[in-house]
Chains A and B, each alone.
Chain A
């Protein structure tokens, strides 16, 4: 990385300098030219959209024509604060996202630990592939699989009955959402946890043992702190993806399963109140902004 600061002496005399030489001499010019198209895409489309969303949140709609009225008002936010139903919805979404994140961390950690520290090279590769597969296998397909499992005459109840247990009717409830979200995002937690655990140097563990620490002490004081950035990196995805989902609540949730995303979706479509939907969607953005700041503090971005 230090080599790029070495400048070559300028050639004597004038004349046209080939582009390659020019770019070699002025790396920032080359970078700037290359970076302009992707940067423009993000600034003109993505960031402009996000800013417009924020502005739209302060507009309102005409109650008769449902057209957007571009007048500055905080009425959308007042509605969010004054109507308790929205507190419940935001609370439910955040609590479930946190619960799913915690569940995935607990499920993933021993798995990742085995993968990183005990498995042979070959088993490690196989397990990595085994996690990649569900990581990429269609999101909708995997949610749908759980409808087949959890429905009244599905695999779960059949299995329970065949071993003499009463049926568990958790289909179309918040419990079902918790199970399905934990299932869907689990690979997003395993991979960063594994990659953090793999980087823990063996010598540290040996040193800890030599100094007389017992196994659990070593795990608590050495392994866990070093694996934390990986788990936090994974949690960004488990938390954020749950926070913004509306598909899973529609498909496996029940009457009391409305998420922030569902209200946003309803206000875009049926209710046609885009400013209110925009105001509502600033909540997950604000939560994620805080979450990303904390994650950065905990070193989660070092793996990026």
Chain B
């Protein structure tokens, strides 16, 4: 349908958008090796000195530990709750299915600040002190949807006849689950977990409202950039966070053939 001219215009457009998307990310990695502690362009030279300095910093290490703890706990909870919901919903045709799907995506579709301030009001009303656990509760709430979406998509593509056959052959409910259902859905569960962790590890808005005095890694980054302090270390930490979020996403994308890692509504 498209003429030669249109094709070339579209190709050029794609190239421009790709440059727009990737130049900033490339710059972050480059600045992590900046010899100067002033963030101006062009950088005078390359060095590795900020890496050792950053990883020896006890404040950053504490923030990293907290982020990892929150990430693992929120992922574990989201994994349980999201999978349960997917199993409950996938064979239902009642109207409630759409409502449940919408409900789970709400924490991602509504501005994060709403989730954050609501939870903070809730915790302070109930007299709950802000701690590791309040951060975990916040993160679990918006992580459930990625697990739910991935497992549900896989269950829908799974043939019910396999399970029926196993039951006809006398398998117990547990055996069916262990030998048939679990192997069929396992990669989608892993993918969901990877994405939930990536989502949690990078989250800053909800965390701002649900963390007490302690810092997760994103909170530390936000504070440092806002004050314009310790930017050479920020460069390193930020590059590190990109890698830690991207690696699980790449794994998840490979496990689900790409679509599972879409984060936004997309056909799978």
Contacts and interface: CB of A to CB of B under 8 A. Distances in A.
Interface string A20-45: 10011001101111110111011001
Contact of B265 (A187, A209, A304): A304
B13 A111 contact: yes
A129 interface: yes
Nearest to B80: A37
A288 B109 CA distance: 9
B222 A136 contact: no
A210 to B, nearest CB: 11
A142 interface: yes
Interface string B164-184: 000100001110100000000
A46 B139 CA distance: 11
A130 B173 CA distance: 42
Interface stretch (B45-53, B54-62, B97-105, B185-193): B97-105
Nearest to A127: B14
Interface in A129-162: 129-142, 144-149, 151, 153-155, 158
Given A34-B85, A139-B204, A50 B118 contact: yes
A246 B242 CA distance: 21
B233 to A, nearest CB: 12
A34 B118 CA distance: 27
B114 interface: yes
Interface string A79-123: 000000000000000000000000000010011011100100000
A37 B102 contact: no
B18 to A, nearest CB: 6
Contact of B98 (A191, A196, A288, A301): A301
Contact of A37 (B84, B111, B222): B84
Given A31-B91, A199-B267, A240 B110 contact: yes
A144 B234 contact: yes
Given A20-B172, A195-B267, A218-B1, A145 B25 contact: yes
Interface string A263-291: 01100100000100110010011001000
Given A34-B85, A136-B249, A49 B241 contact: no
B165 to A, nearest CB: 13
B109 A292 contact: yes
Contact of B117 (A34, A154, A264): A264
Interface in B81-127: 81-82, 84-85, 87-89, 91-93, 98, 100-107, 109-115, 117-122, 124-125
A111 B261 contact: no
A136 B1 contact: no
A215 B174 CA distance: 58
B263 A27 contact: no
Contact of B266 (A23, A151, A303): A303
A18 interface: yes
Given A31-B91, A45-B137, A137-B242, A148 B28 contact: yes
A216 to B, nearest CB: 10
Interface string B1-38: 11100110011011001101110110110010000000
A301 B31 CA distance: 41
Interface of B: 1-3, 6-7, 10-11, 13-14, 17-18, 20-22, 24-25, 27-28, 31, 39-42, 80-82, 84-85, 87-89, 91-93, 98, 100-107, 109-115, 117-122, 124-125, 137, 140-141, 144, 148, 160, 167, 172-174, 176, 198, 202, 204-205, 208-209, 218, 221-222, 225-226, 234, 238-239, 241-242, 245-246, 249, 253, 258, 261-267
Given A110-B10, A236-B109, A277-B117, 19 more contacts: A4-B93, A18-B173, A20-B174, A34-B84, A41-B144, A46-B118, A115-B14, A118-B10, A134-B21, A134-B22, A136-B261, A139-B202, A144-B221, A148-B28, A151-B40, A192-B264, A198-B267, A244-B113, A288-B111
